[in-house]
Amino acid sequence: MGNPLRVAIAGLGTVGAGTVEVLQRNGDLIAGRSGRAIEIVAVSARSRAKDRGISLDGFDWYNDPVAMARNADVDVCVELIGGEDGPAKAVCEAAIDSGRHVVTANKALLAVHGNELARAAEAAGVSLNYEAAIAGGIPIVKALREGLAGNGITHVYGILNGTCNYILTEMREKRLSYETVLEDAQKLGYAEAEPSVDVDGIDAAHKLALLASLAFGTTVSFDDVYTEGIRRVSLQDIDYAEEFGYRIKLLGSARMTEHGLEQRVYPCMVSKTAPIAHVESAYNAVVACGDFVDDTMYQGRGAGAGPTASAVVADIIDIARGFATSTFGVPAETLQQVTASPIERHHGAYYVRLMVDDQPGVIADISAAFRDESVSIESMLQRARSQTEAVPVVINTHACEEAAMRRTLDRIEALDSIVEEPTMIRIESLV
Ligand SMILES: NC(=O)c1ccc[n+]([C@@H]2O[C@H](COP(=O)([O-])OP(=O)(O)OC[C@H]3O[C@@H](n4cnc5c(N)ncnc54)[C@H](OP(=O)(O)O)[C@@H]3O)[C@@H](O)[C@H]2O)c1
């Protein structure tokens, strides 16, 4: 056995306490696999008195996690505080500056400051590992950085936020509204009291920005991720999707196109025959397509103490084994800065639901808007009829450019017979 690897942990919440538990409970098997023991030496959180369900006996306690990152006699500093700035960033910077390896689960921090942190870590000759930051327990960073390293990646996409997938699954299975499911999810602890980072797609966008950098060797460019959340997905649309053979999923998707790097997070319809359509509830999944390997899919729990700590510990074990690689798969200074492909260049089919006053001529007016923008209609459905209430008209298009689809909707929205903002959901063609 070699010398023990000495570790400090900043943040003892869900993931921090989970990490302590994995290292304590599986200590022997981890030491056997690493060739050396992994010893927690120091910890930091806000409240020393809080019961965390774990023993902190024998660990040095620091009130200030930055002082710990700088001064504790450790090889690795594990940052599990969270947040894109503040103490989390200061901890990582102090650890790198003091020549310590860093492990973090913090996607927000890396999505915003990943380029500079990666450069600093590589200049200092230390690792910056973040397996837990993308899709929790799924080892997708390892898959892209190691297992698929011989491939050019053509497309990477996935269900990257368990809260949104849980809400969409419950809406469909229990036939409940978005608002009702969100409220239940908050009571059960599956959604935050302030849910916007999840339901507005921001958390998925943080993860997608990291995936894109890993897959395409580009600088992390979170600001270029086009992001729409799930607040506007209605039960009615979920029902129509079912009827047409689709499921609605919040997908993050990145690919390199002739117009630049496409990075998108939005709710979309995916065929029920696609494996990802069947990833339900709080599960995450990532599909990485390589030019030689073809499609590979990884599925598992994207959050929670156990799955996330599992990924954190795997990163620590890599360091214990002496395994190191560039943060985003290539040296940080060689990451390419590329043009972002605007959403208007998106090319695909669309589902459109209009709520209309059922007057003579309304269908002709709607059809004319599509014709005038050269958007080809695949099917149009108007089932209900009413003299007094608005009725839905549902249209599926053939593939077209989003700019044309948006112009079509602008024309339609200006019609007197349209009583609410049209709903548009992209139809993804996935295998
Ligand atoms: N939860 C998940 O399932 C999950 C999944 C993937 C990634 N992540 C990421 O993992 C990280 C941690 O998430 P979490 O869910 O474990 O968060 P959490 O439960 O809120 O825990 C945060 C911890 O940080 C400590 N902390 C906050 N401010 C501090 C400060 N100024 N100094 C020292 N300690 C401070 C807190 O101390 P007290 O306990 O004393 O308040 C707490 O122990 C985040 O980046 C998150 O995005 C989480």
| pLDDT tens by residue, the chain, 431 residues | 889 999 999 999 999 999 999 999 999 999 999 999 999 999 999 999 999 999 999 999 999 999 999 999 999 999 999 999 999 999 999 999 999 999 999 999 999 999 999 999 999 999 999 999 999 999 999 999 999 999 999 999 999 999 999 999 999 999 999 999 999 999 988 899 999 999 999 999 999 999 999 999 999 999 999 999 999 999 999 999 999 999 999 999 999 999 999 999 999 999 999 999 999 999 999 999 999 999 999 999 999 999 999 999 999 999 999 999 999 999 999 999 999 999 999 999 999 999 999 888 999 999 999 999 999 999 999 987 777 889 999 999 999 999 999 999 999 999 999 999 999 999 999 86
State the Cα–Cα distance between residues 402 and 298, nearest whole angstrom. Answer: 30
Among 15, 20, 206, the mutation site with the greatest number of ligand 1 atoms within 8 A of its Cβ is 15
Element of type H or E holding 152: none
Which residue has a Cα nearest atom 42 of ligand 1? Answer: 13
Cβ atoms of 38 and 4 within 8 Å: the answer is yes
Do 224 and 340 meet the contact criterion of CB atoms below 8 Å apart?
Answer: yes
CA of 17 to the centre of ligand 1 (A): 9
- Indicate whether this model's pTM tops 0.95: yes
For atom 18 of ligand 1, the residue with the nearest CA is: 13
Q: Cα of 264 to ligand 1 centre, how many Å?
A: 27
Contacts of 268 (CB under 8 A, 6+ apart): 248, 249, 250, 251, 425, 426, 427, 428
| Annotation says 207 is catalytic | yes
From its phi and psi, is residue 245 left (phi > 0), alpha (psi between -120 and 50) or beta? left
**DSSP helix/strand/coil, 231:** coil
- Ligand 1: which of 80, 166, 190, 286 to mutate, judged by most atoms within 8 Å of the beta carbon? 80
Those residues with Cβ within 8 angstroms of residue 3's Cβ, 6 or more apart along the chain or in another chain: 36
Distance 15 CA to ligand 1 centre (A): 7
- Among candidate residues 89, 107, 207, 249, the one labeled active-site is 207
* Nearest CA owner, ligand 1 atom 19: 13
Phi, psi (deg, nearest 5) at residue 150: -85, 0
- CA-nearest residue for atom 21, ligand 1, is 13
- Atom 31 (ligand 1): residue with closest C-alpha? 87
CA pair distance 360, 365, nearest whole angstrom: 10
Biggest CA–CA distance in the chain, Å, is 83
Q: How far is the CA of 380 from the centre of ligand 1 (A)?
A: 49
Residue ranges around ligand 1 (CB below 6 Å): 11-16, 44-47, 50, 65, 80-82, 87, 105-107, 132, 136, 303-304, 308
Which atom of ligand 1 is closest in space to residue 15's alpha carbon?
16
Which residue of 9, 19, 46 sits with most ligand 1 atoms within 8 Å of its CB, as the best mutation to test the pocket?
46
Ligand 1 nearest-atom number relative to CA 82: 45
User: What does the block give as tokens for 182?
Assistant: 């969100």
- Atom of ligand 1 lying closest to residue 311 CA: 6
Torsion of CA 326, 330, 334, 339, to 10 degrees: -120
